[in-house]
């Protein structure tokens, strides 16, 4: 039955996440934006413990009812939680130990031994290189097997949590001439010989989240640290399958990133409404758009945009929970939410004038934080490409 409201179970997730966001994140949001470079904030350590305690139950697959009725599972509840936490502070969410993308990869494809060894650690993911961003198939960091060790050479940039993590899942190629199929990921523990931290980036937003550049110079790790098989698929079909599997994980993570934009935009909109209400601006849905003041009309537009993005994100996650292919919907919600987040937060700065631009309130910070959400996990343009190829039935060779 068509219903776009959340069930009680998810409202509870929402409420609990909101408590963390308002009780822990918000009060320290500005503080860590100004500190920027530091170790994991003390305030986040209990949150990490709490999340680690919750994780096994979250990871447990919910049984799908046999009667074909719908499921609201881990994907949708992840969206609901992420929006709330990012309403608190998106940078702090990304700084919680143990919540790295590397953890997700290990839990998804790691062997039982790897899960045992690294599952409880804080694992980052290093894909991007100076010469390979959205085009992740162009990775040129190399890995070669020497006896019982993999030897890695290359450079990685924009690695979230690359400084604070315990280990990093590094994408590298076994043979660049073999393209996507030869790209594998390797678990590199912090302190592995030959790996060094080049720098931690100074960024416009998301400042508390450490973004590292790393260098691998004859970096040696045990043979067992490869994620998945070391074989290079040699048929076109096997190649597609191997890389497709990697890309498929994005179908689950893109809605999660879209949820970040929802939280950031909602935070900005709420602060803006409060500031405007003090000045007598009341957008109470009583007048049509063109009989409203310009400022009220903007609030309506932004709210509609935010809600549209949220419903699209819910839909993509709901599809994943129910085993429906959601590649197009995952990219649609990421594209929509990413640009909505940018537009809404910047418009909020503008509507509140000096107060919006000032560091006295969080509006300017939210606007800075939101920008990256339309870039990482696939830029706006990459999402559009995926959506367009899907709609038009075109290959990546036809629609470049």
Partner 1 sequence: MVTSQDLPFDLSLSEEQRIGRESMRRYAERQLRAIARSADEAGAAPEGFYAGTMELGLSLMPIPEAFGGAGMPRSPVSNVLNAEDLGHGDISLALGTLAPLSFINALLDFGDEAQQELFLPQLAQEHFVPATVALMEPRATFDPGNLHTRAVRDGDGYLITGEKSMVILGASAELILVVAELDGEGPAAFVVPAGSEGLSAKAESYMGLRAVEVATLTLNQVRVGAAHRLMQFDLERLVDLGRIGTAALAVGCCQAVLDYCIPYVKERKAFGEPIAWRQSVAFMVADIAIELEGMRLLVLRAASRAEQGLPFHREAHLARVYAAEKAMQIGTNGVQLFGGAGFVRDYPLEMWYRNLRAIGVLDGAALV
Q: How far apart are CA 266 and CA 382, in angstroms?
A: 25
> Which of 6, 48, 200, 281 is close enough to bind partner 1 by CB under 8 A?
6
| 314 binds partner 1 per the rule CB under 8 A | yes
> Which of 16, 51, 71, 200 is close enough to bind partner 1 by CB under 8 A?
71
| 385 binds partner 1 per the rule CB under 8 A | yes
Q: Nearer to partner 1 by C-beta: 9 or 45?
A: 9
Q: Please give the size of the binding site for partner 1, defined by CB under 8 A.
A: 52
Minimum gap (Å) between residue 175 Cβ and partner 1: 31
Stretch that binds partner 1, among 109-117, 134-142, 166-174, 298-306 (CB under 8 A): 298-306
Q: What is the DSSP letter of 186?
A: E
Distance from CA of residue 293 to its chain's centroid? 36
Q: How far apart are CA 366 and CA 264, in angstroms?
A: 6
| 8 binds partner 1 per the rule CB under 8 A | yes
Q: Which residues pair with 143 in a beta bridge?
A: 152
Strand 183-189, strand 167-173: pairing: antiparallel
Minimum gap (Å) between residue 198 Cβ and partner 1: 34
**Can you say whether the dihedral through the CA atoms of 331, 332, 337, 343 is positive or negative?**
positive
| 289 binds partner 1 per the rule CB under 8 A | yes
Q: Nearer to partner 1 by C-beta: 310 or 365?
A: 310
Distances (CA, A) of 109 to 266, 291, 364: 34, 55, 39
Query: Which class for 60: exposed (0-12), middle (13-18), buried (19 or more C-beta within 10 A)?
Result: exposed
Can 377 be counted among the known catalytic residues? yes
Q: Are 289 and 297 in contact (CB under 8 A)?
A: yes
> Which of 112, 147, 280, 393 is close enough to bind partner 1 by CB under 8 A?
393
> Which of 113, 278, 288, 294 is close enough to bind partner 1 by CB under 8 A?
288
| 330 binds partner 1 per the rule CB under 8 A | no
Q: How far apart are the first and last CA of the chain?
A: 40
Q: How far apart are CA 52 and CA 46, in angstroms?
A: 10
Name which of 97, 95, 162 is nearest 128 in CA terms. 162
> Which of 270, 304, 358, 396 is close enough to bind partner 1 by CB under 8 A?
304
Q: Nearer to partner 1 by C-beta: 207 or 389?
A: 389
According to CB under 8 A, which residues from 353 to 382 bind partner 1? 381
Site string for partner 1, 24-63 (x = CB under 8 A): ----------------------------------------
Stretch that binds partner 1, among 48-56, 120-128, 204-212, 310-318 (CB under 8 A): 310-318
Name which of 230, 221, 62 is nearest 152 in CA terms. 221
| 384 binds partner 1 per the rule CB under 8 A | yes
> Which of 34, 50, 54, 399 is close enough to bind partner 1 by CB under 8 A?
399
Name which of 373, 395, 375, 376 is nearest 385 in CA terms. 395
> Which of 175, 222, 311, 358 is close enough to bind partner 1 by CB under 8 A?
311
Q: Nearer to partner 1 by C-beta: 3 or 235?
A: 3
Q: What is the DSSP letter of 129?
A: B
| 76 binds partner 1 per the rule CB under 8 A | yes
Q: What is the DSSP letter of 200?
A: E
Distance from CA of residue 232 to its chain's centroid? 28
> Which of 45, 244, 277, 285 is close enough to bind partner 1 by CB under 8 A?
285
Q: What is the DSSP letter of 127?
A: -
Q: Are 88 and 20 in contact (CB under 8 A)?
A: yes
Name which of 390, 363, 155 is nearest 273 in CA terms. 363
> Active-site residue numbers?
377
Question: Where on the chain is the footprint of partner 1 (CB under 8 A)?
Answer: 1-8, 10-11, 69-72, 76, 285-291, 300-301, 303-305, 307-309, 311-312, 314-315, 318, 329, 332, 335-336, 381, 384-385, 387-389, 391-394, 398-400
């Amino acid at each position: 039955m068509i219903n776009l409201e959340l069930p009680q179970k998810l409202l509870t997730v929402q409420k609990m996440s909101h408590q963390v966001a308002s009780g822990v994140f918000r009060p320290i949001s500005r503080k860590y934006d100004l500190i920027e470079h530091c170790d994991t904030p003390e305030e986040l350590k209990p949150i990490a413990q709490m999340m680690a305690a919750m994780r096994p139950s979250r990871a447990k697959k919910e049984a799908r009812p046999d009667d074909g009725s719908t499921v609201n599972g881990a994907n949708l509840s992840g969206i609901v939680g992420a929006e709330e936490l990012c309403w608190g502070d998106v940078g702090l969410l990304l700084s919680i130990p143990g919540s790295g993308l590397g953890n997700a990869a290990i839990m998804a494809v790691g062997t039982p031994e790897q899960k045992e060894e690294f599952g409880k650690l804080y694992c980052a993911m290093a894909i991007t290189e100076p010469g390979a961003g959205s085009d992740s198939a162009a990775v040129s960091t190399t890995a070669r097997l020497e006896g019982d060790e993999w030897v890695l050479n290359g450079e990685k940039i924009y690695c979230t949590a690359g400084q604070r993590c315990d280990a990093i899942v590094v994408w590298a190629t076994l043979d660049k001439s073999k393209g996507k199929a030869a790209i594998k990921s390797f678990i590199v523990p912090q302190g592995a010989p030959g790996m060094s931290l080049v720098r931690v980036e100074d960024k416009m937003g998301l400042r508390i989240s450490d973004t590292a550049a790393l260098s691998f110079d004859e970096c040696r790790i045990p043979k067992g640290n490869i994620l998945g098989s070391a074989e290079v698929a040699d048929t076109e079909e096997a190649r597609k399958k191997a890389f497709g599997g990697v890309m498929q994980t994005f179908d689950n993570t893109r809605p999660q990133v879209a949820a970040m934009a929802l939280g950031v935009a909602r935070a900005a909109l709420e602060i803006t409404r409060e500031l405007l209400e003090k000045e007598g601006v009341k957008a109470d849905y009583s007048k049509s758009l063109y009989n409203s003041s310009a400022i009220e009309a903007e609030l309506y537009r932004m709210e509609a945009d935010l809600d549209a993005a949220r419903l699209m994100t819910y839909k993509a996650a709901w599809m994943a929970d129910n085993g429906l292919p959601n590649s197009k919907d995952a990219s649609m919600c990421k594209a929509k939410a990413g640009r909505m987040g940018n537009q809404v937060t910047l418009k909020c700065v503008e509507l509140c004038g000096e107060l919006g631009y000032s560091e006295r309130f969080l509006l300017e910070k939210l606007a800075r934080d939101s920008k990256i959400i339309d870039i990482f996990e696939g830029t706006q343009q990459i999402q559009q490409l995926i959506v367009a190829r899907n709609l038009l039935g075109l290959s990546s060779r036809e629609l470049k």
